[in-house]
A and B are shown apart, each in its own frame.
Chain A
Amino acid sequence: MSGDVDGGRRRFLAVSTVSVGGAGLAAAAVPFAESMQPSARARSLAAPVQVDLAGIAQEQMVTYAWRGQPVFVVHRSARQLALLQKHDDRLLDPDSKVDQQPAWARNPHRSQRPAWLVLVGLCTHLGCVPDYVGSLGREPFDPDWPGGFFCPCHKSRYDLAGRVYSGVPAPRNLLVPPYRFLDDGRLEIGIGPDVPADAQG
């Protein structure tokens, strides 16, 4: 009936047709899968938030909404910064070994510039929003409080770099989100410093 030549040709054509068709089907599946990614509207609602730093006094904290989360921006004073390294023995992860911050925040003040602290304001225990307690000295929960955050839900405590104390329910330091300085007076939460300030996100 069909010779060997035809049989070989037939098999080659069958394989190539099925391969090309299969590749086409796989390529056609991509738009459908991609359509399930966050849409432009979702991304716009999750867009970066700009912060005007001039309006934040020293030792003041302001909260911004970003991606449905509270983000703390703290203007740390010199005296607050001075106390930052004095209590490493009371902290669970003083050197920020656990991955709760980008590489550029793995430093003693857990930020790009010492004066400015940017943290996601959600307790790493069960997600409550901690209170900012910037005053130094005696506090009801700590006689020698060097400033930081106190979570009302289960009494977890963090210092002024967002590092968690040992012996509290929370297991990790507060999360540092990506942010960048657009200039000396403005900060943008949501985009990291590796993206230059004049480019769109």
Chain B
Amino acid sequence: MMARGWRRGWLFLGLVCSALASVQAADRASLQRGERMFMADCAACHSLKYLRYSRLQQDLDLSPEEVRRDLQRFGAKAEGPVISPMTPRIAGYAFGKLPPDLSLETAVRGPGWVRRYLGGFYLDPSAPQGWNNAVLQNAAMPDPFWRLQGIRANDGHGRPGGLLVPGQVAPRAFAGQLDDLVAFLSYAATPDVIQRRVLGPWVLAFLALFTALAWALKRVVWKDVKGSRGAT
């Protein structure tokens, strides 16, 4: 019975350690790059109305100068939300509808969908904007990355085909940039992820300690129950 108890203890501890090891710390550098990309290529049209600049700076450890430049550019306050200067009137003329707020986009569509969408633009003269998207046909959104990624032709099946105009960034590097951007958008949907990843291992370690103590106490208390399976 003693041996069985100890084996269970090691098994438990092993589970704890493997859980902790499998948890990766949030890649802060990736989020910072994603944030810069969002501010540069997306924030002119898309808001993050549930996210505050001050929170962004705190969570992502951004430099105060960069944040101040963004605040000046968008006429925002540090404690205020990230709101794009795009008005419904201008959006109506340009796109037919207001570019949606992206605070919760990755939570609704899933990061995979968003990633594929961002990589799915191609030139399509028949579309109202001149651009189309493999993932969302007839989207009203033009390709915001054509300078980086290059302009790709329609392959005839509603997917990006050959490269018409090369971009400034190599394809693999650009793919990495999109990954960073999607990571940032995932953070924007659930900013608590930062605190969760930091606090989580400690809470689990504490609870493991508590459970181990409680289990040892239970075994001592149950010793006098004759013939008890004493099993937990």
Chain A positions within 8 Å of B, measured between CB atoms, are: 1-2, 6, 9-10, 13-14, 16-17, 20-21, 24, 27, 40, 43-44, 47, 198-201
Contacts and interface: CB of A to CB of B under 8 A. Distances in A.
Interface string B54-96: 1101000000100000000000011110000000000000000
B54 to A, nearest CB: 7
Interface in B195-224: 206-207, 209-210, 213-214, 216-217, 220-221, 223-224
A21 B210 contact: yes
Interface residues of B, number: 21
Contact of B217 (A10, A199, A201): A10
A200 B217 contact: no
B214 A17 contact: yes
B52 interface: yes
Contact of A1 (B52, B210, B220, B224): B224
Interface of B: 52, 54-55, 57, 64, 77-80, 206-207, 209-210, 213-214, 216-217, 220-221, 223-224
Contacts of A27: 206
B220 A9 contact: yes
A7 to B, nearest CB: 9
A1 B225 CA distance: 10
Nearest to A19: B213
A24 B79 contact: no
In the A-B complex, the 5 residue pairs with the smallest Cβ-Cβ separation, listed nearest first, are A44-B79, A13-B217, A17-B213, A10-B220, A47-B79
Given A13-B217, A20-B213, A47-B79, A6 B223 contact: yes
A44 B52 contact: yes
Contact of B80 (A2, A24, A44, A200): A44
Given A43-B79, A200-B54, A24 B220 contact: no
A200 B64 contact: yes
A24 B211 CA distance: 12
A199 B54 CA distance: 12
Contact of A14 (B55, B64, B79, B217): B217
18 contacts: A2-B224, A6-B220, A10-B221, A13-B220, A14-B217, A17-B214, A20-B210, A24-B207, A40-B52, A40-B55, A43-B79, A44-B52, A44-B79, A198-B64, A200-B54, A200-B57, A200-B78, A201-B78
